[in-house]
Structure 1
Amino acid sequence: MSSRELVVLGTAGQAPTRTRNHNGYLLRWDGTSVLFDPGEGIQRQMLHAGVSSPRIERICVTHRHNDHCLGIPGVLNRMAQDAPGRSVTLHGPADAAVHLRNLAIVAQAQVQVEVVGVPELDELVPVADVAGAHLSARALDHRVPAIGYRLAEPPGTTFSAAALAAAGISGPDVGRLQREGELRGVRLADVSTTRPGQVFAFVMDTRVCPAIGEVVADADLAVLECTYAHRDVDLARTRGHLTARQAGEIAARAGVRTLLLTHFSRRYDTAELGREARDAVAALGGSTLVHVAQDLDVVPLPTRAARG
């Protein structure tokens, strides 16, 4: 099992259907888990997916509309059953902080809950550290204040065993070389390659705006809503959403490696939305892979190769 993967708990926009639950996305990242936008019914979806609630350390909400956060009381109660007395942090735009606190109060769960409001700024702002990666957020453009999330791992270093041996460097000296950048005339670049950090991005309800590109730039896996087909682009703009074509274009231009489409209106066949996004990527000459999410999908983050 991959140590970094996204479990799709629900894919419906606004209202669930017979085959799609309300929103919900759990990111497993190096032994910890972050739950994004848990809508109603997510506690049951977690059981179907085999998701362990004690590993959830943070719940990140993009905005205060209930299809993106009404599952919080149930999730907190599940946590209280599985690991009483534990703590969890709820993140969301500052506009949603009171609503999130009220949802935590409704739960009346034996869980220590901290609600942290994120400023809705036109730049990426730090939110938290997640297992060594940096979680940040940026304001988007919806009918209420909304933010998108970006989780970025710092670049790493991959050493060449042969190069280290040839240079006569071993044991504690390897760590010293990494910290100082040079040791006894040997440069770090002489015996290692740079491994780019992985990037995960999460964007829900928003109109097209430049901020989306900044949130998803160079992401290995980007989750984008595509509530509408492009034939209904005027409706999407009015209601503050993306079309599948727009999602594909944004991902291609931003260099996204894998695009996960979700948050579907029940008026569409999701296969149509997938075709529309793939056609948009192809028209721009992009290489983004497009995946149409289904409930209970498990999507691994693509690995990154080292580069010299």
Structure 2
Amino acid sequence: MSSRELVVLGTSSAVPTKQRNHNGYLLRWDGHGILFDPGEGTQRQMVRAGVSAHDIDWICLSHFHGDHCLGVPGVIQRIARDGVEHPVRAVFPGSGEAYWRRLRHAAIFNDTQVVTEHPVDGDVMPVPTGGAPFGLTVRRLSHRVESYGYRLEEPDGVTMLPDRLARHGVEGPLVGRLQREGTLTAPDGRTVTLDECSVPRPGQKAAFVMDTRLCDAIAPLVDGVDLLIAEATYLDADARLAEEYGHLTAAQAGRLAAEGGVRRLVLSHFSERYGEEDEPRFAAEAATVFGGDIVLARDLDRVPVPPRLRQTDETPTSR
């Protein structure tokens, strides 16, 4: 199993269908689990997907429309029932705190108090990650209610080059010391720097963009990400409805991915107005403007984060 993958728990928008549950997306990242927008039925979808309450470290809500949050009570109570001991951080729009309270305490249960609350406000805000191997930033989007997009970003690092290390006589514990300190004296007395024995390694990135019309805040969220989970509620023929109700079309999601240099685009949050026969059209419309990898999300899919780019690799470009 990949240490960095998306587990798709639901892909429908306002109304679930026979084939699609309400929203729900678990991003696994090096042993951390970030659950985005758990809609109604998420707890059962977790069972079907083989996801445990112990796999959840974060619950991140974009906004408080029901298809993005009505699964919160079941998930919270499952965390308590299953005896999860590690902290679970809940991130949500501060303007909807009253709704969070109702969801958080929707029924009687033996609360274990492992869930801590982190309401967000303002146009852009970093979220404290408590030592997680990534940073998390939210940006306010443009929907009918306050809604936020998320960007997860691994710090940049370096890739050590074995041939150069050998050339300088750096081996064993000296390699780790060079990484930590940036310079050292080699066994032959020469000074060796980290730059001489490594190349830059850009950190991997992911973004989650749901329930928004086109707006300026999307670009910095999706810029250069390896994985973008984006709503594609409507097809282009219904672009007027998308604008009116604060949503994206598949083609708009594709254009955002192309402009941001995204590597893999996951389309989801499909309106119930479309049937199974319409599904190929979502990917086809996105592909008219985006030349990268496109995944048409289906419930219970597992989508790996693309392998890390080598220095010579190229990112996708628009068509």
TM range, smaller chain: over 0.9
Identity, in percent, stands at 50
- AA aligned to 1:280 is V
In 2, Cα distance between the equivalents of 1:109 and 1:204? 32
* Partner in structure 1 of residue 211 of structure 2: 205
Kindly tell me: are residues 125 and 85 of structure 1, through their superposed partners in 2, closer, same or farther at Cα, counting changes over 3 Å?
A: closer
* Partner in structure 2 of residue 118 of structure 1: 120
- AA aligned to 1:141 is S
Equivalent residue runs for 1:16-27 within 5 Å: 16-27=16-27
* Partner in structure 2 of residue 232 of structure 1: 238
- AA aligned to 1:115 is E
2:152 is the counterpart of 1:160: no
Equivalent residue runs for 1:53-202 within 5 Å: 53-83=53-83, 87-107=87-107, 108-112=109-113, 113-121=115-123, 123-129=124-130, 131-184=132-185, 185-202=191-208
In 1, Cα distance between the equivalents of 2:249 and 2:120? 26
* Partner in structure 2 of residue 298 of structure 1: 302
In 1, Cα distance between the equivalents of 2:301 and 2:17? 17
- CA drift of 1:86 comes to 5.1
Q: After the TM superposition, which of the residue ranges 8-17 and 155-164 deviates more from structure 2?
A: 155-164
Kindly tell me: are residues 226 and 99 of structure 1, through their superposed partners in 2, closer, same or farther at Cα, counting changes over 3 Å?
A: same
Kindly tell me: are residues 129 and 212 of structure 1, through their superposed partners in 2, closer, same or farther at Cα, counting changes over 3 Å?
A: farther
**DSSP-derived class of the 1:222 partner:** strand
In 1, Cα distance between the equivalents of 2:136 and 2:244? 30
* Partner in structure 2 of residue 252 of structure 1: 258
Q: Is the 8 A contact 1:129 1:135 kept in 2?
A: no
Kindly tell me: are residues 207 and 127 of structure 1, through their superposed partners in 2, closer, same or farther at Cα, counting changes over 3 Å?
A: farther
- CA drift of 1:109 comes to 4.4
Q: Is the 8 A contact 1:120 1:145 kept in 2?
A: no
Show CA shifts across 1:170-191 (max 9, x none).
3333233223322232121211
- CA drift of 1:2 comes to 0.4
**DSSP-derived class of the 2:219 partner:** helix
In 2, Cα distance between the equivalents of 1:35 and 1:289? 23
Instruction: Mark the runs of 5 or more structure 1 residues left unpaired by the alignment.
Output: 282-286
Q: Is the 8 A contact 2:53 2:84 kept in 1?
A: no
Count the aligned residue pairs.
302
Deviating beyond 3 angstroms after TM superposition, the runs of 4 or more aligned structure 1 residues are 84-87
- CA drift of 1:71 comes to 0.2
Show CA shifts across 1:194-238 (max 9, x none).
221110100100010111111011111100101111111111111
2:45 is the counterpart of 1:35: no
In 2, Cα distance between the equivalents of 1:172 and 1:84? 37
TM-score (norm 1): 0.93
Kindly tell me: are residues 130 and 232 of structure 1, through their superposed partners in 2, closer, same or farther at Cα, counting changes over 3 Å?
A: farther
Q: Is the 8 A contact 1:37 1:68 kept in 2?
A: yes
- AA aligned to 2:266 is L
- CA drift of 1:111 comes to 3.1
Equivalent residue runs for 1:278-293 within 5 Å: 278-281=287-290, 287-293=291-297
Q: Is the 8 A contact 2:57 2:86 kept in 1?
A: no
- AA aligned to 2:178 is L
* Partner in structure 2 of residue 284 of structure 1: none
In 1, Cα distance between the equivalents of 2:198 and 2:244? 51
- CA drift of 1:82 comes to 1.9
In 1, Cα distance between the equivalents of 2:181 and 2:86? 39
Q: Is the 8 A contact 2:209 2:230 kept in 1?
A: yes
* Partner in structure 2 of residue 307 of structure 1: 311
In 2, Cα distance between the equivalents of 1:167 and 1:67? 58
Kindly tell me: are residues 199 and 130 of structure 1, through their superposed partners in 2, closer, same or farther at Cα, counting changes over 3 Å?
A: farther
In 2, Cα distance between the equivalents of 1:295 and 1:109? 31
Q: Is the 8 A contact 1:12 1:266 kept in 2?
A: yes
- CA drift of 1:273 comes to 1.2
Show CA shifts across 1:136-176 (max 9, x none).
11110001111100000011222122321221223333233
2:283 is the counterpart of 1:274: yes
- CA drift of 1:85 comes to 5.4
Instruction: Mark the runs of 5 or more structure 2 residues left unpaired by the alignment.
Output: 186-190, 313-319
- CA drift of 1:294 comes to 0.3
Q: Is the 8 A contact 1:149 1:215 kept in 2?
A: yes
In 2, Cα distance between the equivalents of 1:109 and 1:138? 34
